[in-house]
């Protein structure tokens, strides 16, 4: 497509000398007059000779109210003297100055001005005028400060947290961390985040790789880190992602998103030790109870067995007596002297059998345990902890290196 013709009067100039010579003077004036920036032209002592419409809009002063007055009319008198001294030192060396000044509007309200002052040098090489341009940056400054304040607030909250927090980029480089995380550096090594991520990977397997690929959050996982010559340490670790829009100028119209991984690491070694001690205590109490019940069972069963012998003998004797009484000759039919002891014996045997049944009923049952998922690693660890003193007493050393993955069985 052909480009539209450039009007002759706006065509770019070939050399610096005649730059702008084709632009009519009134165009310069109109451009300055209509510019969005507050523009003023002063003499060499900063007395205002000209102010454009934006200057009037921003300061509230009409043109005639400022002409002849020094630019200091705008000063709120809180900008440090040093700033003005450096401003003047710079422009008197015929160099442009740019900086922030606290200005006052006609209505007395202050605003923060981003001011640029350029010396206008005459043909004789002397500064004849100054060109001042400024804009109200109060709101920009307020937002910048607000962001800085929020940053500081977030940093102090993160720093004060009792949990180690670390922010990683997608290459797993640390961008931000807090005091608790720094403590882990001393304890675990150079980059604890990498050690923790590796442990999470080992425990979660493919789910971890997918979570990283798809930027999915990782719910808290308990992981154990073994360190040489020190007891193992337990951590509860969770990860969450957040997305940032790139702030570079090149991505202004084509936004790029970056992902950051926020890792929170809470040491739970103390809790784990307490849980372990509790588990071992209840395990040894359970074993002791089982042993007590077993010995009670054996004692009662033995007693029942022991009593059954004499009772059986008595039963046989009673049977024999019964039989003898039933076959007595007719002449002795009126002799009832043997019936009473036989009856008493039978009653005694009956009572004894009832007592024996009661005793038998008191023998505790062999309890059947319910089936559930059991982590063999934990069971073996607990058993080793319980039996280590007796194993060592017998000169038996057991080397136990369980894998990080739980080895569960139903039992």
29, 38, 57, 58 from 135: Cα distances, Å:
19, 6, 11, 8
Establish if 260 lies at the interface with ligand FAD (CB under 6 A): no
Neighbours of 26 (CB within 10 A): 9
Among 72, 173, 294, 319, binds ligand FAD (CB under 6 A): 72
Establish if 225 lies at the interface with ligand FAD (CB under 6 A): no
In the complex, the smallest distance separating the C-beta of residue 74 from ligand FAD, rounded to whole angstroms, is 4
Strands lying side by side in the sheet with 38-43: 48-51, 38-43, 127-136, 110-121, 97-104
- Cβ atoms of 265 and 163 closer than 8 Å: yes
Among 56, 63, 70, 203, binds ligand FAD (CB under 6 A): 70
In the complex, the smallest distance separating the C-beta of residue 168 from ligand FAD, rounded to whole angstroms, is 46
Establish if 115 lies at the interface with ligand FAD (CB under 6 A): yes
User: Which residues from 124-153 bind ligand FAD, rule CB under 6 A?
Assistant: 130, 132, 134
Residue whose C-beta lies closest to ligand FAD: 132
Establish if 103 lies at the interface with ligand FAD (CB under 6 A): yes
Q: Give the range of 19-27, 78-86, 260-268, 386-394 binding ligand FAD by CB under 6 A.
A: 78-86
- Cβ atoms of 407 and 391 closer than 8 Å: no
Q: Give the range of 13-21, 111-119, 242-250, 354-362 binding ligand FAD by CB under 6 A.
A: 111-119
H-run or E-run covering 408: strand 408-410
User: Which residues from 46-65 bind ligand FAD, rule CB under 6 A?
Assistant: 46
DSSP letter for 137, please: -
Among 3, 8, 26, 45, binds ligand FAD (CB under 6 A): 45
- Cβ atoms of 107 and 62 closer than 8 Å: no
Count of residues of this chain found to bind ligand FAD when the rule CB under 6 A is applied: 22
The residue (of 136 and 267) whose beta carbon lies closer to ligand FAD is 136
**How far apart, in whole angstroms, are the C-alpha atoms of residue 137 and residue 115?**
10
User: Which residues from 80-99 bind ligand FAD, rule CB under 6 A?
Assistant: 81, 84-85, 88
19, 89, 115, 127, 312 from 41: Cα distances, Å:
21, 19, 13, 12, 133
DSSP three-state, residue 330: helix
List of residues contacting ligand FAD (CB under 6 A): 42, 45-46, 70-72, 74-75, 77, 79, 81, 84-85, 88, 101, 103, 113, 115, 117, 130, 132, 134
């Amino acid at each position: 497509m052909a480009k539209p013709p450039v009007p002759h009067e706006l065509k770019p100039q070939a050399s610096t000398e005649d730059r702008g010579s084709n632009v009519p003077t009134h165009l310069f004036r109109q451009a300055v007059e209509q510019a969005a920036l507050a523009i003023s032209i002063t003499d060499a002592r900063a007395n205002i000779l000209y102010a454009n419409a934006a200057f009037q809009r921003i300061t509230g002063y009409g043109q005639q109210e400022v002409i002849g007055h020094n630019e200091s009319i705008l000063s709120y008198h809180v900008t440090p003297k040093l700033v003005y001294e450096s401003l003047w030192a710079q422009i008197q060396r015929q160099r442009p100055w740019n900086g922030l000044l606290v200005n006052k509007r006609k209505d007395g309200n202050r605003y923060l001005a981003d001011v640029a002052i350029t010396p206008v040098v005459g043909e004789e090489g002397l500064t004849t005028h100054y060109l001042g341009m400024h804009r109200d940056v109060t709101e920009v400054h307020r937002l910048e400060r607000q962001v800085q304040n929020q940053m500081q607030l977030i940093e102090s909250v993160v720093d004060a947290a009792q949990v180690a927090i670390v922010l990683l980029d997608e290459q797993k480089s640390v961008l931000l961390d807090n005091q608790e995380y720094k403590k882990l550096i001393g304890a675990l090594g150079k980059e604890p985040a990498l050690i923790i991520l590796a442990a999470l990977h080992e425990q979660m397997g493919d789910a971890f790789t997918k979570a990283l690929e798809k930027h999915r959050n990782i719910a808290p996982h308990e992981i154990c880190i073994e360190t040489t010559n020190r007891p193992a340490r337990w951590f509860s670790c969770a990860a969450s992602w957040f997305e940032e829009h790139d702030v570079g100028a090149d991505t202004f119209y084509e936004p790029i998103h970056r992902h950051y991984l926020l890792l929170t690491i809470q040491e739970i070694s103390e809790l784990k030790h307490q849980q372990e001690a509790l588990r071992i205590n209840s395990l040894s109490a359970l074993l002791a109870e089982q042993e007590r019940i077993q010995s009670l069972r054996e004692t009662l069963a033995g007693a029942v067995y022991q009593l059954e012998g004499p009772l059986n003998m008595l039963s046989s004797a009673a049977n024999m007596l019964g039989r003898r009484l039933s076959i007595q000759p007719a002449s002795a039919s009126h002799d009832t002297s043997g019936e009473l002891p036989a009856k008493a014996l039978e009653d005694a045997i009956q009572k004894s059998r009832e007592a024996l049944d009661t005793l038998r009923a008191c023998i505790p049952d062999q309890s059947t345990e319910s089936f559930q998922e059991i982590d063999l690693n934990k069971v073996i660890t607990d058993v080793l902890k319980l039996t280590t003193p007796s194993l060592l007493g017998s000169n038996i050393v057991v080397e136990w290196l369980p894998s990080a993955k739980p080895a569960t069985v139903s039992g």
